[in-house]
Chain A
Amino acid sequence: AQSVAQPEDQVNVAEGNPLTVKCTYSVSGNPYLFWYVQYPNRGLQFLLKYITGDNLVKGSYGFEAEFNKSQTSFHLKKPSALVSDSALYFCAVRLRYYGNNRLAFGKGNQVVVIP
């Protein structure tokens, strides 16, 4: 089945340290990948996406993600985490169903940035 997996439930990181949130995918053909962030009691906000081209994608709020085809991964990264980055992060892949632009989401990773 086509899907994404986020293997960690929670990621704890000290403020100022690098942040990595992991995502692996399983799709046929070329994947079309997204990262979203959800702050408490809010909807999902789009961070970045990979369509094609450069494997390093830069997005909002200083986040970037690296597409790695050999490892089927699309990890989200930030060089220096802020307390305000504490949120729920979702990886998603667009599934190639005719007429259906469905996004398949991972279960989400809770990121806690410790002051």
Chain B
Amino acid sequence: IAGITQAPTSQILAAGRRMTLRCTQDMRHNAMYWYRQDLGLGLRLIHYSNTAGTTGKGEVPDGYSVSRANTDDFPLTLASAVPSQTSVYFCASSLNPGLRGTDTQYFGPGTRLTVL
């Protein structure tokens, strides 16, 4: 069982370019999340999805979009990348989004993105 996989592992991107970060989980978890990690700020939620077909905005959603066409995949798209989006991006999932005992979040290995 792989858990959560993310691709690419790292990417250098020119400002203004479009980029999609991929996230796939094989745990049949209902909920998925995207966080960004920046030094001194911890992790901040970008977008989330409680179940396939639904998405919601997190703490820092501007400049990002997501889709959840099926249970396993939750891609994050930067429509026009800017240098402030340079960060490490983590995808996470949980079995259920709000039910105590089953909403522990498990994280992927991350994507390191540099926007020049």
Contact = CB atoms under 8 A, between A and B. Distances in A.
A43 B108 contact: yes
Interface residues of A, number: 23
B106 interface: yes
B48 interface: yes
A105 B97 contact: no
Interface string B96-110: 011011011111111
B24 interface: no
A45 B100 contact: no
Interface stretch (A14-22, A66-74, A94-102): A94-102
Interface residues of B, number: 29
B43 A100 contact: no
B16 interface: no
A43 B92 CA distance: 9
Contacts of B103: 94, 101
Nearest to A106: B42
A103 B105 contact: yes
6 contacts: A36-B107, A44-B90, A92-B43, A101-B94, A102-B58, A107-B41
Interface of B: 4, 31, 33, 40-45, 48, 50, 56, 58-59, 90, 92, 94, 97-98, 100-101, 103-110
Counting from the closest, the 6 A-B pairs by CB-CB distance are A105-B42, A43-B107, A101-B97, A44-B107, A105-B43, A43-B109
